[in-house]
Structure 1
């Protein structure tokens, strides 16, 4: 009886949080002296809740992280400063990773031996990327974000996957670090190992910088490197990548938080919408056609990336604004 009551209480939490968010006065978010002709402050959180709900569904169906959809779409079509969007994007990706990480480790899918050296490199570089991104003018960030998103589209369009890559022999570094394991699949059980460890770790330097700079999370890049370059089984790569986000995104998120680039008006409805959408997406996944969803995600990312690239080019001649502005200005698109 107690268990049912607890589950009902947790089920009501998103609704209560949304009601609390919309009930708070605008001053709670620093939106003072709002012009009379400005859009009501609560319209944007409400619209954000709806959009991220749909985004959560699409992310699950498309097999991509919420951050890679969140930053280009919200940054391109909502009047929030790009720094605040990137900070919220990291927290969106982080929330999903924290929810999934313990279960993946318990199920022996995420490899801690593989994750620790990769996380050390990626999280350190994510901090550097976050600091570098906050120092850049907003239009430069949007320009680079557009190029990056379109690059992700190309990767998704051409990427191949291998369930069980052929690794004839583990290299010296992976052997010294003890990076190996036993994969227990539904059909067979086998020992796995990795190779090309040094090129893989060097690649994660770039991935970490990009994850911190753009707030995208890095699942779109982690899996191909772990699977195709380093030779980990696909399920091990996917699970380890998800666990990695809980370390990499935490490091970068602290930089944004410390610089004041995280605001409740943006983060709260985003997290609620993504979580609720993910729950619905898991149910729809049973009947959805994967090929159609994949092409839909590619199309959305191509459109959002093009919009970000266009905005960056358009603003090239505009006067540069400080990287992190006052919350009032960012919240009203100034």
Structure 2
């Protein structure tokens, strides 16, 4: 694995649920046991995740040009206060000490802060509390799987750093190898979270198939990850559809599932995951500059690879990119 040094014990977290998450909401919603501390273990799929408190992150050099863009109010104390929700690996989760947030979002936060000549102050918070915290100035940024929407852009500024992707996953020995269009899901038994963005997309695909005279999708809903995993492994279900990040982590950990298709989280529109900041305070521009420097020097790619998220990489950070439309 291309990652930072793992002088501390490399450990893995038992899989968190992937099927019940909305593509633009709390990454830990409906996750089974996602607040439990991980126990030392080795993966069986060849991907090792370091979830110890000692992360030995990739070295980052300050970018003076980007640092010059940081508003005085933010740089005053030399810290960048970032809200994260440690509810779902590999995005953010508590380490094996049950108190230190680690994960992709934490690594991004630390790297952005260092590029800007600041020290990251990572503040764990429940996902639903970040909007008020950012608006009030309690948090100078949120890095917590936040999808850009037009409604959110009315209150916050954004600098994108990841594509919002949904993944179709099948049992590792399934004959299904590719899902790329509505016809591919016709007649399939698919596990999806009720009321989620991914369910809406799958319903649209199913409607298109029915108009074309194709067999309907057989929708399956489960309240917990254990039940959905059993359904997939036993053959009662053919596929799951949910946020790719957590599903990819689970696949790497267990070796029991495989990715067979990716969708934009806002299908048919592109959806962006972004650093969120208070509207009009100027920090989003600095975050964008830091992210683009991290992309150019290769650190960004190493961070995503470290957490198994290379498929969600962006070529460059955008300032307030088009958001998903209001419903």
What band does the TM-score fall into relative to the shorter chain? under 0.3
Give the TM-score normalised by the residue count of structure 2.
0.26
More strand by share: 2
Give the TM-score normalised by the residue count of structure 1.
0.26
More helix by share: 1
Larger Cα-atom Rg: 1
Higher relative contact order (CA 8 A, sep 6+): 1
